[in-house]
Structure 1
Amino acid sequence: MPATESSKPRRHRRFRRRLRTRIILSFVLLGFGLTLLLAFSANWVRNRVEEDLVVDAINQNISEYQRRYVESGGRERDLRVQTMRAYAFAPDKFAQLKVDQPEWYELPNGIHTVSGTDQDGSPFSYWLAVQKTPEAWFFIAYDKTESVKAKSKFNNALVGVVVVFTAISLLIGWWSASRVMSPVSELAARLRAYRGSSNPRPLAPHFPQDEVGELAKALDDYSGRLTEVVQRDREFNADVSHELRTPLAIIRGSVELMLSRPDMDEKTRTRIQRIQRAEQQCTDLISALLLLSRNERGHGNTDVARVVDQLLDAHRATLGGKPLVLRVEGEGGVTVDSPEAALSVALGNLIGNAVKYTKEGEVVVRLLPDAVEVIDSGPGLSKEDAARLFERGYRGTHAGHSQGGGIGLSIVSRLCALYGWQVGVRPGEPKGVVATLRFTPDRGAPSDEPGGMPSRAPEDADAR
């Protein structure tokens, strides 16, 4: 299960609308929705009122026509009553009506809508009031052609109103968003202007006592507390670095004096050399942590092969009777632009982790043109370890009761982020782990390690 040489997982960014866009969109949707609702309501009311008026007029006219028909003794059979066409058919005309107007003949009493096309293909539509009595059948037709045309024009006008008011809502939303977002944009611009400043000026005096002003006050308060914390952290790091370097320098001087004595026995010399290596390790770790705390990239021209040889010599002296072989493969000559302390801490954690968890066999440090591989024959790693090794404080399944707080790999990953290196691991063949520290990211070649997370912790992380 390979793992990519990347110190952080890739995060997929979500598309998020800007606040200004959301304000404008809200105005547009509100204007469009209200205008559309108003247009729908107006059209419904118009149709309902028109229909009620027409139906009422038709009912009155057909009753009036029936009255006139009776008073005239059946002489008024086809006439106009208030712009409507009225017809009356005596019983002897029913058969003829069935032939001429079969659709009228079948209709019951009431008001009906009749539509279709005439002989020349022109569409027609009209309301037809029907009132059938034993004496005669009465019909009143009301032509809807003009009403349909008027309704079409009215609907077109409503569409235009919706479009116009939506455009007006867009303009109002644009103007309102500009007014609303202007102080927010100014606040963001002032914050960007303070980027990198160790003493940012207060923001609240530049804004009125409104929501943005409250936000500026909160940012000023947060900035003040953050500046105080950063200042305390810097002072603490400087004090710790100074106070620790002094006793370490004394230890170094004393060790050098003791090692210069020719009459010292070999056992004592070995112990003093171990103290010397521990002092050097503490000095390198302090320098690396100080660089991380300041987020400061130190420079240098460090020989990678020389650092590897020093680290392997230091670990050989601590093996005791452990059946483990430490060796180097590859050619030297690779240098990196970093202090020796930073490279020593990064490689020392990887090599120390391999030595610690490999009970027997060998640990091989392979020098490549742009990377260093640490290959061991240990027990390997689990899927959970592979996914969580970069979590600060995580101790893997092989850590057991060993010492360590689970921060070693976190320090390595932070150093890699500071210097642009890449660290990752993959399972070895047939067992063990291959940890890789790459100094020049290879952007062209595909990685053979999926997952975006390294899968191996250094010694201090106790990841196995």
Structure 2
Amino acid sequence: MPAAESSRSRRTRRFRRRLRTRIILSFVLLGMFLSAFIAAATFYVQNRVENRVISDTLVKNNDLYAEGFYRDPNAVGVAFEKIQGRMFSVDRLDRVPGEWKNLDNGVHELSAPDTGDDDRIYKLAVRKDPQYWFFLAYDIAEERESQNRLKTALVVLVVLLSGLSLFVGWWSASRVMSPVSELASRLRAYRGSSNPRPLAPHFPEDEVGELAKALDDYSERLTEVVQRDREFNADVSHELRTPLAIIRGSVELMLSRPDMDEKTRTRIQRIQRAEQQCTDLISALLLLSRNERGHGNTDVARVADQLLDAHRATLGGKPLTLRMEGEGGVTVDSPEAALSVALGNLIGNAVKYTKEGEVVVRLLPDAVEVIDSGPGLSKEDAARLFERGYRGTHAGHSHGGGIGLSIVSRLCALYDWQVNVRPGEPKGVVATLRFSPARDDAADTQDGTVSA
């Protein structure tokens, strides 16, 4: 997987919430918004109704106050605890408080300094007649205090309901996710098992039970496919080994004849190399199909030398030099067939696409490099070189289905090897097969890398 795609995948997984968390969050948000809406609506309605009642009461009482004055001027001037009425003649408007003079008829909310630190809040009903102005003040300090208490109570209610929603959400999520978690746990317990037990009998007839049935059905069909695939690979391997063994024996007998001419001997040796290549490929593919790692103590230098000899015999008149450099002694824990297929594909590609020059197999302490002087590597080829069925831009009309390097990448994943390709200098391609994790991160910055 390319580094950029892997980074995007990690970011997606980091921000993806678990289903349990989403359920709890849904309950909390629902409870919080619902309680906040109810609290806001309650406060709004209570405040609106209270203001309407006070305003209507003030207007009504101010009208009564004015009418009473016109009926009996000597009877006006009664002061109540919360309502105070005052009347001014238009001839004596200098006595009207400054904040009242410019008010229109109706009800207004005002504040005035009190004896304490806080201002006194009151509503004032105004009625201005041609001869007299009437004012009726209503102290709303208690109502404001009641509103503040109501607001505090509603905030506490929102917090309590949000906490309750959190608890209900956590409890509901635990109840809902319990069978799903059990299903996941049973699936993890079957990891690596070739014959997993049915899951459906452990769950009731609900959505999780339906999911368990679907997983059982999928597991059964997948097991059948894997079993048929393994049987097919084993049968093909067995059936192909028999004619290959016959070919090997016949070739050895023919090569043992001393009277054979050199031209015929060369052709028979080519058949012998092809038989060995088929045998190695069958062994490697059988390991991949079984996903099991074979063991051995394979000499890398000896395998590389054999592969170079085999390719030298197929060059014909091609002006290409094949050589090996570096010190031997490197061994890997794998069958010779697996290493031969992996390294043979890298050398084979270098020989195929290099028209002239040289192909060098360089032995390193923990890796092998295959360096050619071919046409080089494009960015698109480097990004897709190990995809199954992909053929590079320089493939042209050459034979091959584009699966060789795909097999190499699968062998690397099986044996925890690393394979990468990068452009050479000044041209060509450098393919590296590393048998142990890289000691630094430089290999990961190359144009194309495949590892376990």
Q: Shorter-chain TM-score category? A: over 0.9
1:351-370 correspondence runs (5 A): 351-370=347-366
Q: Does the CA contact (< 8 Å) of 2:241 and 2:279 recur in 1?
A: yes
Q: Does the CA contact (< 8 Å) of 1:9 and 1:451 recur in 2?
A: no
> TM-score, normalised on structure 2?
0.95
Q: Does the CA contact (< 8 Å) of 1:303 and 1:334 recur in 2?
A: yes
CA distance in structure 1 between the aligned counterparts of 2:423 and 2:238, rounded to whole angstroms: 41
- Name the SS of the counterpart of 2:383 in structure 1: helix
What is the deviation of 1:254? 0.6
Match in the other structure for 1:88: 87
Structure 1, 198-207 or 271-280: larger mean CA deviation: 198-207
1:314-351 CA-to-partner distances (Å, cap 9, x unmatched) read 01111111111111110100000000000000110000
Match in the other structure for 2:22: 22
Match in the other structure for 1:447: 442
Match in the other structure for 2:217: 221
- Name the SS of the counterpart of 1:369 in structure 2: coil
Q: Does the CA contact (< 8 Å) of 1:342 and 1:415 recur in 2?
A: yes
1:90-122 CA-to-partner distances (Å, cap 9, x unmatched) read 23321222xxx1111111111111124346643
> TM-score, normalised on structure 1?
0.93
Q: Does 1:311 align with 2:307?
A: yes
1:29-66 CA-to-partner distances (Å, cap 9, x unmatched) read 00001000000000000001101110111011001111
Match in the other structure for 1:37: 37
Match in the other structure for 2:100: 104
CA distance in structure 1 between the aligned counterparts of 2:306 and 2:233, rounded to whole angstroms: 27
CA distance in structure 1 between the aligned counterparts of 2:43 and 2:203, rounded to whole angstroms: 49
What is the deviation of 1:123? 1.2
Aligned length: 446
CA distance in structure 1 between the aligned counterparts of 2:438 and 2:432, rounded to whole angstroms: 13
Q: What letter is aligned with 2:324? A: V
- Name the SS of the counterpart of 1:271 in structure 2: helix
Match in the other structure for 1:65: 65
Q: Does 1:231 align with 2:195?
A: no
Structure 1 420/9 Cα, relative in aligned 2: closer, same or farther at 3 Å?
farther
Q: Does 1:411 align with 2:407?
A: yes
Q: Give structure 1 stretches of 5+ with no counterpart.
A: 456-464
Q: Does 1:180 align with 2:176?
A: yes
Q: Does 1:53 align with 2:53?
A: yes
1:382-410 CA-to-partner distances (Å, cap 9, x unmatched) read 11111111111011111111111110110
Q: 1:152 aligns with which of 145, 148, 153?
A: 148
Structure 1 47/220 Cα, relative in aligned 2: closer, same or farther at 3 Å?
same
Match in the other structure for 1:12: 9
Structure 1 276/9 Cα, relative in aligned 2: closer, same or farther at 3 Å?
farther
Q: Does 1:124 align with 2:124?
A: no
Match in the other structure for 1:400: 396
Q: What letter is aligned with 2:409? A: S
> Sequence identity of aligned pairs in percent?
71
Q: Does the CA contact (< 8 Å) of 1:304 and 1:333 recur in 2?
A: yes
Q: Does the CA contact (< 8 Å) of 2:383 and 2:447 recur in 1?
A: no
Match in the other structure for 1:461: none
Q: What letter is aligned with 2:9? A: H
- Name the SS of the counterpart of 1:191 in structure 2: helix
CA distance in structure 2 between the aligned counterparts of 1:68 and 1:10, rounded to whole angstroms: 85
1:246-265 correspondence runs (5 A): 246-265=242-261
Structure 1 288/11 Cα, relative in aligned 2: closer, same or farther at 3 Å?
farther
Q: What letter is aligned with 1:84? A: I
Match in the other structure for 2:77: 78
1:379-437 CA-to-partner distances (Å, cap 9, x unmatched) read 11111111111111011111111111110110000000110111011111111111110
- Name the SS of the counterpart of 2:257 in structure 1: coil
RMSD of Structure 2 on Structure 1 (CA): 1.8
Q: Does the CA contact (< 8 Å) of 1:65 and 1:81 recur in 2?
A: no
What is the deviation of 1:82? 8.1
The higher-RCO structure (CA 8 Å, 6+ apart) is 1
- Name the SS of the counterpart of 1:181 in structure 2: helix
What is the deviation of 1:71? 1.9
Q: What letter is aligned with 1:51? A: N
CA distance in structure 2 between the aligned counterparts of 1:93 and 1:283, rounded to whole angstroms: 123
Structure 1 10/317 Cα, relative in aligned 2: closer, same or farther at 3 Å?
farther
Match in the other structure for 1:391: 387
CA distance in structure 2 between the aligned counterparts of 1:12 and 1:391, rounded to whole angstroms: 19
